[in-house]
A and B are shown apart, each in its own frame.
Chain A
Amino acid sequence: EVQLVQSGAEVKKPGESLKISCKGSGYSFTIYWIAWVRQMPGKGLEWMGIIYPGDSDTRYSPSFQGQVTISADKSISTAYLQWSSLKASDSAMYYCVRSIGTGACLDYWGQGTLVTVSS
Chain B
Amino acid sequence: EIVLTQSPDFQSVTPKEKVTITCRASQSIGSSLHWYQQKPDQSPKLLIKYASQSISGVPSRFSGSGSGTHFTLTINSLEAEDAATYYCHQSSSLPQTFGQGTKLEIK
- Identify the A interface with B (CB < 8 A): 35, 37, 44-47, 49-50, 59-63, 95, 99, 102-107, 109-112
Contacts and interface: CB of A to CB of B under 8 A. Distances in A.
Given A109-B43, A109-B44, A102 B98 contact: no
Contact of A62 (B1, B49, B101): B1
Contacts of B1: 62
A47 B43 contact: no
A107 B95 CA distance: 17
B77 interface: no
B94 A102 contact: yes
Contact of A35 (B32, B38, B96): B96
Given A46-B98, A47-B97, A62-B1, A106 B43 contact: no
A92 to B, nearest CB: 14
Q: How many B residues touch the partner, as a band?
A: 20 to 34
A109 B43 CA distance: 7
Contact of B95 (A44, A45, A62, A110): A62
A61 B95 contact: yes
Contacts of A47: 89, 95-98
B89 A105 contact: yes
B91 A103 contact: yes
